[in-house]
Amino acid sequence: MIKKLARRDEISRLMRKVIFLVAGCFSVPFAASADEYVPKMPTIDSLPSLSDSLGCDDEPAYLRDEAARNAVVDEGWLTLHQAIHRALEGHPSITDAIAALGQQQSGIGVAHAGYYPQFKAGMSGGPWTSARGLGPYISASASQMVYDFGKVSHQVMQAKALAARQQAKVLGSIDEVSKNVAEAIVNVHRYQQLMIAAADLFQAVFAVKEMAELRAKAGISTRSDPIQAESRLDQARANMIEARAMLEQSRENLRSLMNENRPLPENICIAEPHGLPPFRPEAPVDASLNPDLLPAALEAKAEAKAAEAQLGIVKAGRFPTISIDGNYGRSLRGAIYPAAPDRRQDYGSVILNVSTQMFQGTGILSQLKAASHAVDAAHARQQTALLEAHNKLRSIHAAAMGSMARIGVLQSRLKTIIEARDLYRDQYRLGSRSLVDLLNSEQEIYQARTENINARHDLWVSEADQVAASGRARAVYGIDHTVVQGLEILP
């Protein structure tokens, strides 16, 4: 019995390859029920790759286990997490954001320099005379700020806030790339299954055409039946070509996001996005929203701190700066001032300096108003970021609910149409049903499958969007506590 089953499977596999070659690409066996089709590799023209692609018929068991999926490296399968991490390591938008972060962090050191002594030295030259002195002359000075009423401290605060804003932009770039890669993986998987559905339609119509030709040769039906079947076969072939084109387009989009110089190998299977957290309709819409995880909210919060620091700088500018200044000078030729009684060649002084800007017209008042408005605008942007996040999550929730409702209806519809198709086939063989009805039922099965595939993948896209909108992408995709382009990502 086992040998017979193995022989039957071998014959089925050979027939499947023949159908693929006839169609110009390849497929999977025709599904007998609504859920008996699984993801496979995209099509290619070369026969050696055909067997590799058919090897993607079933996903390995480890792909459905999170720990094993992240631990096992299988060159034949590309998972969601692997694609995202490969994209993060080479995407130029992240490189740009990290470089800008380094620039902003350097500004913190520049601001801190205001706490330390400032040294200057110089040399001047000119003619020396017994009456005027001078001549070649060297000088040095030092100044140490003692108290400035918060000017330097607010500059440091502003520099740190600007660095925090850029850090939020880095997180935003990481989340955006992760979201785009997740959607690209879902779409590649979507078009893989749509191509499979189109190939199954071709195989089903091809079988109907053969049956119609046998009946026409036997004189049971008219010659118009095979002609009608041939027309539907051309339509099925066109569906396969369209699905294949969309699949190649989605693979190229994924390749660009992963910053790959060469096309993705055709023998790599794209796994289902098992890493996406399942959508839960009963959960509150905003339950997963944490403002401290949203890059847009963090960026607006940092801008508010920078604006507050600028306001502090302007307020401190109304008060003097107290410093200790030291100066030393020496003539290299003779006395600095020959007419002086001591005829010294050098001089030095240490003074307590208090300096302030006495009058700037309306400059200070205008700066205060501008800084105050900047603070208000930054706080408003922070509230806007939260409002947009809430609105986006509600919209995603509504879309996901619609996809889930459609999936249930479409599964039931697909099973009903398959039962009707089987009945029409038997009736056509008995001569009580027309060929058009049978061909229409095959077309309806294809349409129901494509709608079911699209609904299921739309739900996955909603799950990916929900992860991104809630700021949980770095936790879900295992980016936290990793190094991305030399930068450690912390939660």
How confident is the model over 10-46, as pLDDT tens digits?
444 444 444 444 444 433 333 333 334 333 323 333 3
Q: From CA 93, how far away is CA 259, in angstroms rounded? A: 11
Residue that the structure tokens 């000075």 belong to: 141
Q: How many other C-beta atoms are found inside a 10 Å radius of the C-beta of residue 278?
A: 7
At residue 132 the predicted structure's pLDDT band, cuts being 50, 70 and 90, is low
DSSP 179-192: HHHHHHHHHHHHHH
Q: From CA 296, how far away is CA 466, in angstroms rounded? A: 15
How many residues are recorded in the chain? 491
Please compute the mean of the pLDDT values over residues 232-248 and round it to a whole number: 91
Q: Over the stretch 51-102, which tens digit does the pLDDT of each residue have?
A: 333 345 566 665 665 555 555 555 677 888 889 999 999 899 999 999 999 9
Mean pLDDT, all residues of the chain? 80
Q: From CA 352, how far away is CA 342, in angstroms rounded? A: 26
Please compute the mean of the pLDDT values over residues 354-359 and round it to a whole number: 81
Cβ burial 463-483 (10 Å sphere, 16+ → b, else e): bbbbbbbbbbbbebbebeeee
pLDDT value of residue 62: 57
CB distance 255 to 263 below 8 Å: yes
Contacts of 57 (CB under 8 A, 6+ apart): 28, 38, 40
Q: How many other C-beta atoms are found inside a 10 Å radius of the C-beta of residue 153?
A: 17
Superfamily of domain 19-90+170-298+380-489: Outer membrane efflux proteins (OEP) (1.20.1600.10)
Task: Report the candidate in 187, 190, 192, 200 with the shortest Cα–Cα distance to residue 445.
Answer: 200
pLDDT value of residue 290: 85
Q: Can you list the alpha helix ranges (DSSP code H) found in 293-362?
A: 295-316
DSSP 53: H
**Pair type for strands 118-124 and 482-484:** unpaired
CA 352, 357, 358 angle in degrees (round to 5)?
A: 105
Q: Over the stretch 281-332, which tens digit does the pLDDT of each residue have?
A: 777 766 667 888 999 999 999 999 999 999 999 888 888 999 999 988 877 6
Q: From CA 262, how far away is CA 77, in angstroms rounded? A: 17
**Percent share of the chain, pLDDT over 70:** 78
